[in-house]
Structures are given as structure tokens and as C-alpha cells.
Structure 1
Amino acid sequence: MGNSPKLALALVGLVLGTSLVACGDGRAGAEDAAKQLATAVSALDVGSVGFDGKESGAVNDQLKEIFQGLDPDKPAVQAGELTFDADTATFPLNYAWKVGAEEWKYTVSAQLKKSGDKWLTVWKPAMLVPELADGEIVTRSTDTPQRAAILGAGNVPLVTYRPVVKVGVDKPALGGADPADSATKLAKLVGVDPAGYAQQVAAAGPEAFVSAITLRDDGSRTITDAQISAIPGGRAVPDSLPLAPTRTFARALLGTAAEANAEQIEKSGGALKPGDTTGIGGLQQQYDAQLRGSDGIVIRAQKAGLTAEEIKAATTDPRRVLFRTEVKTGTALKTTLDPKLQQLAEDVLADVGPASAIVALRPSSGAVLAAASGPGSNGYDTAMLGQYAPGSIFKMIDSLAMFRNGMTPDSTVDCPPTLTVDGRTFKNAEGYPESSLGSVTLRDAFAHSCNTAFINARDGVSQAQLESAATSLGVAVEAPALGAAAFLGSVPGEAEGTEHAASMIGQGKVLLSPLAAAVMAGSVAKGAPVAAQLVLNPNEGVADPAAAGTETPGTTPAVPPSGDAAASAAPAPAPATAAGKPVTAAEAASLADMMRAVVTSGHAGFLSSVPGAPVGAKTGTAEFGNDSPPKTHAWIVATHGDLAVAVFVEDGGLGATTSGPLLKEFLTRAS
């Protein structure tokens, strides 16, 4: 019992200590209430927050009304350090809103009041927005800039705003007419799905205009306003859109611009909103940010219910500006495309059934003047992205490698009718002249495209030398100056046996695009590797090659929808960063000598009548697929003064007879 006083004293101390904690200043509870308020306002839902003298539901309704104009955006809100005064506490609320590409930040004061053992929020609109009064709401208005143009050579507009009409059913103008009947008639008139369009019209509100199709209004449309208005509710609404000169003009390369869909808006991270125009494919998508610019946004406080008429009638604007971002107009994308040559290339390919392409560039500068993909490409950019066995046009690369081993155009080579390598028999093309068989000059073998002569040279020309010679002529390398997604070719550095033999005639795993073929020919004309250039100002906006749905310039693109066995092979190796040993002027002169012989004594004599500078050329035919006889790619490349051109037809027989006439028409009309 001697310890009883001490035990009693300890118990008294414990009770006293507990009482002191219970009767503290309540800071922890107030801090919890402040954090709960900040979290609730961040979600724009304060239904779970206790308010002093106000129903939570009523406050929540008022908050939603205040911020309805900013929907669907929400702020990030954090509570600052509390200051106590008797049974009240005040603290800052720090707001951050994402407004376009900028942030709207501000700080307001909020107050808590203790009621029993709870901390309640003192409601006032100014705790949401600085100086916001009862009866005021927050609004947002947006000023969207027009999309910038895509320009061609000499800054000629290629894609610019052109007049259109949006054709559809205006439901308020239906009168007593049946919406489904009008929708069906209009759909049949303009060539859209009647059932699908009728569903759209039925689902739209009673005041809606439901667009069925947008037509160019350049005097060429065959559907007239009278035909449209003859249908109850039918209307043609004038508008303008960023368009190329024609529906097909460089479409695969340029892409298109259209109203953003829900998926694009969701993926944009807030950069796009409903009604915005955005790029789809090609340069329009790759340089979308540069072309689109950014909205100017104004956040205002104003009396709820304020009408546009009242604002217009007021001597001073009754609204108060809270935050503003300036509109930033897009920057025009400058390209090297020559509109006349581009249109000419498309006209020449207009009646070609298979996938096809014409690429023309200026060797002296590398400027891509035309990159046309024919109608048989079905929207794919065959000109820039196609991956195809080049056939005998690759003999330009063989010849360069042979020059580097000491040969000249006058050196003698052996051209037998057939040649067998590891059990595989190679032969020359049908109709090969007997007079050019046997012991002939390299020039003659090149002019008549003797496959066996070049395969015979395989032991003296390694696969690594072929790869080096290719890069020397500007192909199978990266294209940093191009500014667009492209495939510049692939030449394996290692191959043996029949695969190496096939490489000597541009088959096996050797792949080029029409662009690469034009670069190869252009490098001969220039006497140095051509660095192709299409976009002149790629750094004036955010360029995202991956967004184009294609590839970073110079890398391997997706396989084209062609069924090409060569293109369907394993992915091409990564390109070299640059030529290890650039072609010299002397080497290029020897190649030009042999290309000229193709026209003067070989099977491209039809090009001798092209006016202007002498034409040098090389034809190519490459087998692909498993058919018997096999299908063939038809190629021809040419130089004509300061112009290099490649013509390609995917399933086209012989290069001389299929692609040759297309080239002749292009060069003759371009002269």
C-alpha cells in the first residue's frame, strides 16, 4: 500500500494530459476540413462538404451553375496554411486551371467556422473565383484561327481555304414533311448511304442542321442548289475549308484536313475540341500543330442570364475579364512542290490501273517538284513510301561499284544468254538483242540491260561494295532535309550466293521507293549525292512524323497494301546516316555517259525526241510474287537537264514498254 499515492498521482497526470489534448485548438480538424473542401472543389462537387447556414445541395447546384461555362474542365485546388481566430479559421485556396496550352492560376481566401465539434465552410462565391459576386457565373469564349496554308514552289498556295457547300437537311425547314423521306431523297441525290443518313437525321434535335456531304463550290459541282432545295428541308450552306486544288491533288502526300472526331479529341490532350479542324494523314497530320496554331481564350465573370443583345447594347462591356490567352495563328508550311509538275504527273498516271508513281526532283538543290501516286495506289503514298525491288535501274549502283574496282564504260564484260548460280538460272529480258551478247563493253551491257553480264561481275563486286555505292548515290541513307515521312531504300551489306547474284540485278532483298530512284538518278546529274528536300520550314511548328501514320523520314515504312512479295519480306535494315564515300563528279560523268547510251543505242530510244537537253535514262523490270510467269514491276529513271524523274508501275510488264511512254509524256509536256 505504500505506493498508492504515487499511483494515484500518475493516474491524475494521465487524465489531465488526455483532457489537454481533447481541449486543444482543433487545428487538426480544421486542416482536415480545409483539405476536404479543396478536394471537393477540384472535383466540382461539394455535396459532401458541410456549410455554415447553407444546404450542401444548394451550394453544389450554385457551384455547378457558376462553372458550367468551363465544362468539362476542372481545376486543381490545394489548401494553404490555416490562420486561427477563436472559432474561425481562414486559409488560402490555390487554383490552377488548364486553359489551352497555358495555366490560369489564382488564390482566394476561404473561411471555416466551428459548430460544436465540426468545422463548417462559410459559403461565398468569391471562394471560387476572385471577387465573384452572388448571381455571377464564369464563361469562356474561344477565338479559333484559320488553318494556315500549305505552299508550293514560289509560295503558291497548294492547300488553302476554298469555297464549299455543306449539303444536308435543316430540320426546322421541314415543315410537315417526313424527315426520313427527305433524308433518303437527299442521300440518294448526293450519293451517301440513305439508311445511315436517315438515322442521323432522326437522332438529331428538332433545331438541327444535319450535314450529309460537303461539296466543293468551285463551279464544277453537278448537284445544283435547285435540286437540293426541291427536297423538303434540303439546304446547301456556304462555307470554306482548307483544300488542295482538286480532290486528288497530292492527296497521299499532303493528307487532308477535316473536323476532329471524338477519338482525335480524346488523344489530343486538350489541344483539340469539338468543331476544330485537324490534319488527317500526310503533311497535314505531321505538321498539324504548326498549321493549326492555337486558340485565343477569354475567361470572364458576368451576371447569369446576360444576353448577347444586352452585351451589344451596353456602352461598356458588362463582363469582367479574369484570364486571357492570345490567339496564335498557324504558320504556313512551305514545300518545294511545283503545282504544274505535280498536276502533270497526276494527269499522266490518271489511267494507270495498278499502283504507280512519278517523282521529279531538281538535282542541283534536291527540291522534290512532284511526288504523285496514281489512282491504283488507293490512297497510299507509293511515291514516297513504296518498297519495291528496283530491277535493272539498280545497275547504276552496280556500275559505280565496278568503276571503283578499276572498270570504265569501255571495259569489256561477258554477256551470255543465261547464267546459273547455285542451281538458279538467270536470263536476260525477253527480246534482248543477240548483237549485244558475248563480249561487249560495259556501256553496251548497261544500255541493253544485260542481266548476265552484271551477275557475272558478282565475284568482283561484294555486297558491301553495293551497299557503299548505293549510299554514294544518296539512297539507303537517312533524309534529314526531307521533312516528310519517306523510304529512301534498303541495300543489305551482306548477301551470298544466289541472293548476292539477285542483288546485282536489283532483286533479292534490295528495295527502293520511287523517291529513292529519283534521288539516285539526280545524284548522277548533280555529280554528288542529292539530299532530297520537300519541306522548307519544318522547325517553325511542332512536327510529329509519327502522327502522320507513317514513319520518321528515312526509316522503313509500313508495308503498302499491294501484296508485293519483295515488300512483304522482313523489315528493311535501318538506313545509313550518310554516304560513306560520296559519288565523285568523274564517276557520275561515267554513269551519265552510260545512261545517255540507253537512249542513243539502247532500248529507250523513244526518249531521243524529247525536246531540250539530252535525256539519259535507265529502265528496270523486277519480278515479284509466285505467279507463272511472274508479275513484274516496271521502272524507268531519267535525267533531263536539271531534272531527275522516276516512273514506277507496280504490275506493269517491262520498264521500257510500260513506264517508258509515261516518262516520255511527262518530260515532253514538262519541257
Structure 2
Amino acid sequence: MRRLSAVLALVPLVLVSACSGDAAEEDGAPPDDLATDLAAGLELTAAAVGTDKEEDVASGAGLADVAFVGQDVSEVAEEYVEVVAGMNGIAPTVEGEVSGDAITLTWSWPVVEGEEPWTYETTAEVGEDGDSWAVVWDRTVVEPSLKKNDTLEATTVPARRGEIRGAGGKVLVTERPVFRYGIDRVQVSGAKAAASARELAALVGIDVAPYVAAVKAAGDRAFVEAITYREDEVPPAVRRTALDIEGALAMADEIALAPTREFAAPILGRVGPVTAEMIEEDPDAYEIGDIVGISGLQQRYDEQLRGSDGRVVEAANPNRARGRELFRVQATDGETLALTLDERLQTAAESLLADVGPASAIVALRPSDGSILAAANGPGTEGLNHATYGQFAPGSTFKIVSSLALLRSGLEPGSTLPCTATTNVDGKQFKNYDDYPSSALGDVPFSTAVAQSCNTAFISQRGELGKGDLAGAAAALGLGIDHDLGFPAYFGQVPPPASETEAAADLIGQGKILASPMVMATVIASVQEGAVVVPRLVEQVDVEAPDVEALTRTEADQLRGMLRQVVTEGSGSALADVPGAPVIAKTGTAEFERDGRIETHAWMVAAQGDLAVAVFVELGESGSQTAGPILEEFLRAAG
């Protein structure tokens, strides 16, 4: 047998030599060229199906160099296109060889990229058509078991998306039932399709113009999704009237979803149809119709969670209800992504923020290992992740860092500091917060300055700190050193001050000091643990502790003592009766300018046992008045 490879390029096929009756008599077998031309023509025609070349090959252009017994080449091409059109763009490699008085064709279909192809052989009988060799056409030339009217159909077998699990292996995100509402272009076309799209968009409350444009641009067999609802969240009006719209369709499906729409949404992200931008950026990974992670952890870990789809190839026939399976590549389900989030604490945090109007966040973590147990964002963030990636002035919560820097400079908790009503630094006047107790003014112990959060006392000690001392203290408590934690995380900044005024502001968490709620929870967690804590959320991501000047046991004890005093006699006294282990805490209020007005961030951080918490409200009265009650309720709920 003589094997010849098919020609892959989409180029005109040229008959290399004539096949005459005289040649048949001399050789007694079909010529090699006939096998070559047949294989190449079949391959070229299949590759053109669904492209702008389909019309040409369906008329016989791809098989122009092959004669067929009793049939015009256009008739054969048309039938062949009908047989393979259901392969949805999967193009075979075809090799032909002369075997006795017939042609053996070896077919190889890459049904799923990267998997073993579907490979088999068929036989094409050969006869004479006048003075030339010709092929006897039959659907078995394409696949040996095909009967009359059979066609090949490839159907994707979707992989089940990997779950996202939280603390204790609790399932947080899994495939849950939904209804996808949209317009089915099979049922409606033209101007009527646009009118139906307009009516459906108005009913479900999405932007009308973009949806109408999408329906107009879709193919005649497309389903154009308008909106997806959880199974138990379809609005009554939509459930009652949507299907009265001509061409409207509600498809039952399953999509990877969290327990509720709000649950850790800015962090977990969401799953949906692949975007045009994603396809353009990585065409090998995505194609139209794919359901993928499009934001948050769902997008970052999409390859792991997504798995790989399988496909089944069937012999379909309009006279049979079900296809006959010919080949299958099993789907490979996605892998689980394990997180440290605690469903109960995350739900409690989100419940506490549900009615907070301004942007807000709560982060809770475990000091012993850094596990983030809750990272909640209130509705005022409008979908942004302030909890782990917000960048705000931390106000007096940063005095935990300043206190460590001052302890390292030689101060003791009992050292006397001047707490004046105001202080002036290079023409800039600093004062204490508005309701600062007058009884705590004057010469006070360092511990009292911490407990009452005296700004002027801290600013008076700026000359005791050398270059880098404040940044070094911040690093020892986990602030200001970046890590890749496998999710968006902001660790704050402590840049060198550009002036005396800025150095003064830095000591009270203003100036150019920035932090996220996550890193402020880390700061008080490091005090509670007595060592630098590195937050962790994604179990498979390991991060080593930074090489910093570690907290000493004495420093940790002194800081815990002063922060306990915040609760027993200072600005955090509302936490004094929280049940359980003793609470340490620090309040914070940070001024910032917006639209020409001075506004204030409200902060509070606390630790109790093996739990550290930060609460942030973008606009509030003060840390103790605005953030304090939220933090207290969270600690009680967590107990």
C-alpha cells in the first residue's frame, strides 16, 4: 500500500496526472493521485464549513479534481457538507491510500484540543466513469456506520465548575439552579426580534438599547440572554408575563453561585458568558459561548475552577429521537478552591453592614495563623473591595504603630507626655477630636495618651523618632510590606515624611499614611499574637513572614496593656462588657477633604482571644460613635 498525506492548505487542488482507461489496464489499480485528491478535497471542504468559503466548497470547488460514479461533484459536496456541518467547526485530517481496487481513508478529528483524536478508517469504492477512475460516493466514506440521512453532530459536554469552599470545608460557591431569560432568534426574527428585545429589557430592568443591539446582531439560531435569576429570586412580574413576549425564553440552568447575591461578592467575583475582550486577549483559552469567571477569585482561578469540557459525537437522523453515540471525550470537572472564610462570620459581618449608608467594611482574621474569617463590604462600596484593597488614612488606629515606634525610642507606658488642647507645627495647628475629655488634658502617662487617643501628646514626641523608625514599627506589625496573597490585598504605606508637618500628621495616621481594613486588622492581630501576622485567604497560597525587626515579648505585653486600657478607661469603653476573653482595641478618626469639605473616616480595631477585627466606615462621626457599635455587635455575634 502506498500512503499519501492530504494537503492541508486551502489552495486550489490540481490533478497531477490523468486517470485513463489505458492507465487502468496497465496498472490494474486506481492511481495514487485519486486517493490524494479525494483525501485533500474532503479535508478542505470540512475545514471550510461555517466559514466564508462554505458556499464555494458546497458547490464542489473543494472536490473539483475528483470524479464520482454517476454523480455530479456538486451533489456530492452538498451532501458531504450536510453530513459534517454538525461538527461545529471541528476540521478533520484525512489521509488516503490506494488499497487494492479501493481507497482507504484514515480520518482524525481533534474533537477536544489536547485530547486523543477520534480516529478511524473508511473505504471508498472505486470504479470507472468513462475513461477515468471515479469514486463511488456514499455516506460511509465519511464514517463507516452512517446510514441514509445520518449526519455527524458534535455536542459539548460541559465540565462541572469547581466549588469554592470555606473554613471547615463548608461549600461557599457551587452550581445552583437559575433561570436565564432571553430572546430565542429561532422563534422570532427581524424587526419583531428587536421589538421583543425592547419589551423584555424593559420588563427585567436592564439597559434597553444595548440589549436590542445585541439581539439584532445575533445569528438566526442564537439565544441572546438578557438576565439570569436565581431560581427562587425571579420577580413575580417576570415569571408571570415574560413568556408572553414573542420569542422570549426562560432556560433552566446551573451557575456557580454563593449562598446569597451579596456574599463576599467583590472578592469571590462572578461567573458569566466570556467577554469579547477575554476572547481577544486569549483566543486559545476562550470562545464565544464559554461560561467563565469574569471577576474576582472566579476570574483569577478560572483555569483551576473551570476544568475542561468534553464532547460527544453522535450519528443523528431526523427519523430518530436520539442520536447514536460514536465517540466521547469525558469532561474533566474543575478543582476545588479552598478559602479560609467562615460562612457564619462573613454572613454576620454583611448583616451588620447592610444598613450602613456610606462605604463600609469589616475584616476579621485569626491572629494565630492569619486566616481571614470575614472580609465584608457594605452596599455603599458599590461593588468595590474596600475590605482587603481599600486605601484610606487609618487615623488614630495607626497609633498602635506609633506607640511601638515610641516604645522602641525609649518611652515606657508610664512616661509622662504633654496632652495639650492644640499644638502648632510649622504653622499647622493640630488638635484632639471634638469630644476629647478635658479631664485627660495636661501631663498624662503615655498609656493614658493611648487610651484617650491624645493627638497632641503623640505629635509632641516626633523628635524622638529617627528616619525609618515609624516604617520599621509598621513592618513589625504587618503594615507597609507587600505580599502576593493570591487575591487583591493592600498592605498600606508609610513613606518618609516630606516635612515636619507631615511627620506630625503621620504619627496620628494622617499625612501620607494609608491602610486597608485588612491591614489594620493585621496590625492589632500582630499585637495580640506577639509576632508579625501575614493574612491568608487562599489556602493553596503560602506566604512567608517578612524579615523585620520582630516584636519582643516586652513590647507585645506593653502594647496589649495600653490597648486594654483603651477598653477599660478610654475611647473603647463600650467593649468592656463583651463576654469572653479580655478585649484590646483602638479607635480612629481620620480627616480628609472631599468637594471642599472636611469629612471623617471612622475606624475601630479590636482583638479578643484568637480573633482580630477592623471596622471601617468611610463617612462617620468618630471611631467610637460610628465604627464602635458595629464592632461590638460583631464580637458578640462571633462569641
Q: Which residue number in structure 1 is paired with residue 112 of structure 2?
A: 99
Report the aligned-residue RMSD: 4.6
Matched position secondary structure for 2:576: helix
1:591 paired with 2:556, answer: no
2:166 corresponding residue in structure 1: 152
Could you give the per-residue CA deviations for residues 364-412 of structure 1, whole angstroms, max 9, x where no partner exists? 1211111111111000011011111111111111111122222221222
Structure 2 contact 477–533 (Cα < 8 Å) conserved: yes
1-side partners of 2:196 and 2:82: how far apart?
39
Distance in 2, matches of 1:106 and 1:585, equals 70
Q: 1:458 to 1:649 in 2, by over 3 A?
A: same
Deviation at 1:281, TM superposition (A): 1.2
Aligned runs of 1:33-432 on 2, under 5 Å?
44=48, 47=61, 51-53=65-67, 61=78, 64-65=81-82, 67-74=84-91, 97=110, 99-102=112-115, 104=117, 138-167=152-181, 189-192=203-206, 212-218=226-232, 222-223=236-237, 225-226=239-240, 238-299=252-313, 302=315, 305=317, 308-309=320-321, 311=323, 317=324, 320-321=326-327, 324-432=328-436
Deviations 1:504-525 (A, max 9, x none): 1212222111111111111111
Please tell me whether the aligned partners of residues 621 and 654 of structure 1 are also in contact (alpha carbons under 8 angstroms). Answer: yes
**Residue 633 (1) aligns with residue 601 (2):** yes
Report the 3-state secondary structure (helix = DSSP H, G, I; strand = E; otherwise coil) of the residue aligned with 1:589. Answer: helix
CA distance in 2, matches of 1:529, 1:663: 23
The aligned residue for residue 544 of structure 1 is: none
Q: 2:491 aligns with which of 488, 492, 502?
A: 488
2:492 counterpart of 1:524: no
Alignment of 1:634-649 (within 5 A): 634-649=602-617
1:469 lines up with 2:469 in the alignment = no
Q: 2:112 and 2:510 mapped to 1: Cα distance?
A: 55
Q: CA deviation at 1:452?
A: 2.0
Matched with 1:23 is none
Change (3 A) 1:138 1:589: same
Query: Once the two structures are superposed, what CA deviation does each residue of 1:550-603 show, in whole Å capped at 9, x if it has no partner?
Result: xxxx9xxxxxxxxxxxxxxxxxxxxx9824222233322211111111111211
CA distance in 2, matches of 1:233, 1:38: 38
Q: Which has the higher contact order (CA 8 A, sep 6+)?
A: 1
Whether the 8 Å contact between 1:463 and 1:494 is mirrored in structure 2 is no
Q: Secondary structure at the match of 1:606?
A: helix
Deviation at 1:620, TM superposition (A): 1.3
Offset at residue 668 of structure 1 (A): 2.3
Contact 2:161 2:306 in 1 (8 A): yes
Q: 1:62 to 1:467 in 2, by over 3 A?
A: farther
Q: Which moved more, 1:444-453 or 1:234-243?
A: 234-243
Q: What is the CA distance between 1:185 and its match in structure 2? A: 6.5
Cross-structure match for 2:453: 449
The amino acid of 2:353's aligned partner reads: L
More moved, 188-197 vs 338-347? 188-197
Aligned residues: 587
Residue segments in structure 1 that go unaligned for 5+ positions in a row: 1-28, 84-89, 112-119, 312-316, 540-553, 555-575
The one-letter code sitting in structure 1 at the alignment partner of 2:529 is K
> In 1, distance between residues paired with 2:241 and 2:38?
65
Asked whether the equivalents of residues 311 and 330 of structure 2 are also in contact (C-alpha less than 8 Å), the reply is yes
- 8 A Cα contact 1:506 1:622, kept in partner: yes
Q: Would the aligned equivalents of 1:250 and 1:372 in 2 still touch at CA under 8 Å? A: yes
Please state whether the residue corresponding to 1:214 is helix, strand or coil: strand
Instruction: Give 1:167 shift.
Output: 4.6
CA distance in 1, matches of 2:95, 2:464: 78
| Structure 2 length-normalised TM | 0.77
Query: How has the CA–CA distance of structure 1 residues 310 and 74 changed in structure 2, closer, same or farther, with 3 Å as cutoff?
Result: closer
How far apart, CA to CA, are the structure 2 residues paired with 1:412 and 1:138?
Answer: 88
Distance 1:382 1:355 in 2: 8
Structure 2 partner of 1:117? none
Q: Which residue of 1 aligns with 2:18?
A: none
In the alignment, structure 2 segments of 5+ residues that lack a partner are 1-32, 125-132
How far residue 329 of structure 1 moved from its aligned partner, in angstroms, is 0.9
Q: Larger deviation: 58-67 or 255-264?
A: 58-67
1-side partners of 2:211 and 2:46: how far apart? 41
SS at match of 1:343: helix
Tell me: CA distance 1:267–1:307, structure 2 relative to 1, closer, same or farther (3 Å).
farther
The alpha-carbon distance between structure 1 residues 72 and 234, as it changes in their structure 2 partners (threshold 3 A), is closer
The aligned amino acid for 2:621 is G
Please say if residues 122 and 142 of structure 2, whose CA atoms lie closer than 8 Å, have aligned partners that are also in contact.
no
Contact between 2:362 and 2:616, CA under 8 Å: does it hold in 1?
yes
TM-score, normalised via structure 1 length: 0.74
Instruction: Give the Cα–Cα distance (whole angstroms) in 2 for the partners of residues 665 and 200 of structure 1.
Output: 47
Structure 2 CA distance for partners of 1:205 and 1:102, relative to 1, 3 Å? closer
- Structure 2 SS opposite 1:443: helix
